[in-house]
Structure 1
Amino acid sequence: MPSWLKEGRGSLCGANVSLLLREMGITKPLLVAGERTKNVFFARTGMRLPVFDAFHPNPDLQDCVAGAALYQEKDCDGLISVGGGSAMDTAKGIKALLMTNIAHVRANQLPPEGNVPHLAIPGTAGTGAETTAVAVLYEDGQKLSVDHPALLPDGVLLDGSLLDTLPEYHRKSCAMDALAQGIESWWAKKATPGSRIHAERAIRGVLDNLTAYMQGDRKAQDEMLHAAYESGAAILTTRTTAAHAMSYQITKKLGAAHGHACMLTLPHLWAHLAAQAEYQPMLTELAHILDGEKPMDGAVLLKGLLAVLELDKIPMPDDATLDMLAASVNPERLGNHPEALTMAQLRAIYVQAFTPMTDTERAEAIAAWEQYGK
């Protein structure tokens, strides 16, 4: 977990940031942020810092090369990232390149420690990247995950007011990402009693606050931001499983945002596990966190949640695209899923994810979601 944490609405201010920077030993940080978030940062803190904002929504390794060059040119001694996962992953990539050369970054071979302290300030409630040690980057269109303990941000500042202007679809998708991370972490092969505490906090935090959050309730925004933080803390230990592994090409080829793409397959992955006796005790325990009683209850509730959020309808891809989706799934990520999945099973789960529910199924699923917390 990060060594320093400051949390609370309005906590993004000059006094708090200055205090955190002093505690982290940073005197001249490089700010990594997009156009909107850098302006918010400057307005809230009154600071003037060198800025790196030339990164893509899916950060490219070469973006990080440019950022590292600017860091050295400006003689910086630390990083501040403000925004969503793109800004935080870019900052982590910059740190990796300051620790070693690009070939070692590609090979995920970083030295044990790096003297580049990093303060992360999330502007979305979803990825939990502020509490993970992974930088998701791209090179020549291919995904590159740089995973190393030294990439864990040293400090985190959580301010729910940064979510005030998030568009509706981003609110939905980011919340689904945090929820998916919580569920996947809970059932992951690498789960521990400690990681499951964080995972349960993430799951309950999202579900308890989602309705109010979507209505713009400020307290719910603060709680949702903390739930995302907890989801990141959970996957810091366990990493993700099949829903995340299956999501990347849905985003790339079909345009669904990352969290939305994860949640499309998650209910069907749950149902696939629930059909097998060996996983039913585990899923019964997990269903209790979602106020369910039986192994399948969680899958039904998640389908209802997708329906209420109007995230359940994406047209069925053609056969060639379905084949590509199934073939694209990273076997290493699948290795952390509770069961081994064949390519034929993956393809069948994609088909189920894109198949509309019947009117009866939809009504039952929505009813299950509406009963949550009652």
Structure 2
Amino acid sequence: MQELIVPGNAYAGLDAYLEQHQITRLFLVCGNSIAQFPLWDHLTALEQRRNIRIFRFSDFHPNPDLSSVQLGAAQYIARACSGIAAVGGGSAIDVAKCIWREIGTPDTPLLAIPTTAGSGSEATSFAVIYKNGVKQSVGNCLPNAAMLDPTLLRTLPLYQRKATLLDALCHGIESCWSMHTTPESRAYSVRAIRQVLEHAEGYLTNQDAGNAGMLQAANLAGKAIHIAKTTAAHAMCYRLTTLFGIAHGHAAALCLSALFPELLRHSLPEQTSAALREIAAAMDCPNGTTAAQKFASFLQALHLPGLSREIPITPKVLAASVDPDRLANTPIPLGTTDLCRLYEQILHA
């Protein structure tokens, strides 16, 4: 089971983790923005205070490439490090996970410290890396520990807050109705949905309590998709992200807004019907139809930028980009005609 570290006063929780795992040479995977956080000051003082050397690795980009992973693994080995920590969003954490897999020592401590509240990457056992421009999914790389530090969210821009909030909410909803849902994952899903909605206002206005609550919600949603995985809304969103230059959570929410009422038009198995009742209750709605409407209204109220009408793309081309294997987790069948109809709604919303 993953250890969840409470930062504590002066990062006492982090120090205790490093001591417990006897980490004396820490390989730190992070972006350049880390320098603006108090956490960086704490990390750079570790050598003087606790004789723990820090080796920083920032040679990666969004949508990181396999070559960055291989370089990081080589540096980890060359510097005889004894543990890995990732501080950042999904890219930094995914790179650290893949480096951990690459070095091939499962007992190596791997600590994930997210600086966004959406992906829940710190709580999942999979990562995304690119090889020759093609996305590769990597599994079996769950960090042994995660630290949720709300002070790391204080500098997030408003659009990023909106998009990450939506990503966590989509994770909660999709994992709940997923074909691979379990009682454990549904419990995480329902708690995540409730907490996202409860802390949305505080998170969007950059209040410490809101930031802390959204971090916890994203972590719960991450635990849910770790078990149940996502469904068609996520499978459909990737091409929208790259084509229109919008954030992942924004794209996922556009897809889920079209998918939710589509789901309700079908005759559903009892497991899915029960999940929809739980989703509705978590959203404080009497039924799934009202919950779908509330989700659409919530998305609209965020006033996100619309999709550009100047990009020449058709629903058929978008439908062809969806990996059919990623649709198998969705509780309704979705063929090309169905995907085209959903994309038509999304493009003209």
What is the letter of the counterpart of residue 352 of structure 1?
Q
Partner of 1:365: none
| Residues 1-374 of structure 1 aligned to structure 2 (within 5 Å) | 1-2=1-2, 4-7=3-6, 11=8, 13-38=10-35, 40=37, 41-45=39-43, 46-47=45-46, 49-99=54-104, 114-148=106-140, 151-278=141-268, 281-282=273-274, 283-311=276-304, 313-316=306-309, 320-356=313-349
Q: Which string of whole-angstrom CA distances, capped at 9 and with x for unpartnered residues, describes residues 81-112 of structure 1?
A: 0011111000011111111xxxxxxxxxxxxx
Unaligned runs of 5+ in 2: 47-52
Q: Which string of whole-angstrom CA distances, capped at 9 and with x for unpartnered residues, describes residues 216-241 of structure 1?
A: 11111100000011011101111111
- Provide closer, same or farther for how the CA distance between residues 192 and 306 of structure 1 changes in structure 2, counting only shifts above 3 A: same
* In 1: Cα distance, 2:300 partner to 2:25 partner: 48
1:143 alignment partner, SS class: strand
- Provide closer, same or farther for how the CA distance between residues 317 and 353 of structure 1 changes in structure 2, counting only shifts above 3 A: farther
Per the TM alignment, residue 12 of structure 1 is displaced from its structure 2 partner at its CA by 8.1
Partner of 2:50: none
CA contact (8 A) 2:88 2:113 kept: yes
CA contact (8 A) 1:38 1:82 kept: no
Per the TM alignment, residue 18 of structure 1 is displaced from its structure 2 partner at its CA by 2.0
- Provide closer, same or farther for how the CA distance between residues 13 and 31 of structure 1 changes in structure 2, counting only shifts above 3 A: farther
- Provide closer, same or farther for how the CA distance between residues 13 and 118 of structure 1 changes in structure 2, counting only shifts above 3 A: farther
- Normalised to the residue count of structure 2, the TM-score between the two structures is 0.92
Per the TM alignment, residue 5 of structure 1 is displaced from its structure 2 partner at its CA by 1.4
1:296 alignment partner, SS class: helix
CA contact (8 A) 1:274 1:296 kept: yes
1:278 alignment partner, SS class: coil
What is the letter of the counterpart of residue 169 of structure 1?
Y
What is the letter of the counterpart of residue 84 of structure 1?
G
* In 2: Cα distance, 1:171 partner to 1:129 partner: 16
CA contact (8 A) 1:131 1:233 kept: yes
Per the TM alignment, residue 201 of structure 1 is displaced from its structure 2 partner at its CA by 1.1
- Provide closer, same or farther for how the CA distance between residues 32 and 13 of structure 1 changes in structure 2, counting only shifts above 3 A: farther
* In 1: Cα distance, 2:120 partner to 2:9 partner: 18
Q: Which string of whole-angstrom CA distances, capped at 9 and with x for unpartnered residues, describes residues 214-268 of structure 1?
A: 1111111100000011011101111111111111111111111011110001021
Unaligned runs of 5+ in 1: 100-112, 357-374
What is the letter of the counterpart of residue 346 of structure 1?
L
* In 1: Cα distance, 2:159 partner to 2:91 partner: 17
* In 2: Cα distance, 1:263 partner to 1:176 partner: 6
1:246 alignment partner, SS class: helix
- Provide closer, same or farther for how the CA distance between residues 317 and 250 of structure 1 changes in structure 2, counting only shifts above 3 A: farther
CA contact (8 A) 1:24 1:154 kept: no
1:31 alignment partner, SS class: strand
2:122 alignment partner, SS class: helix
Per the TM alignment, residue 312 of structure 1 is displaced from its structure 2 partner at its CA by 6.5
Per the TM alignment, residue 71 of structure 1 is displaced from its structure 2 partner at its CA by 0.5
1:172 alignment partner, SS class: helix
* In 1: Cα distance, 2:292 partner to 2:187 partner: 21
What is the letter of the counterpart of residue 67 of structure 2?
Q
- Provide closer, same or farther for how the CA distance between residues 351 and 317 of structure 1 changes in structure 2, counting only shifts above 3 A: farther
CA contact (8 A) 1:12 1:157 kept: no
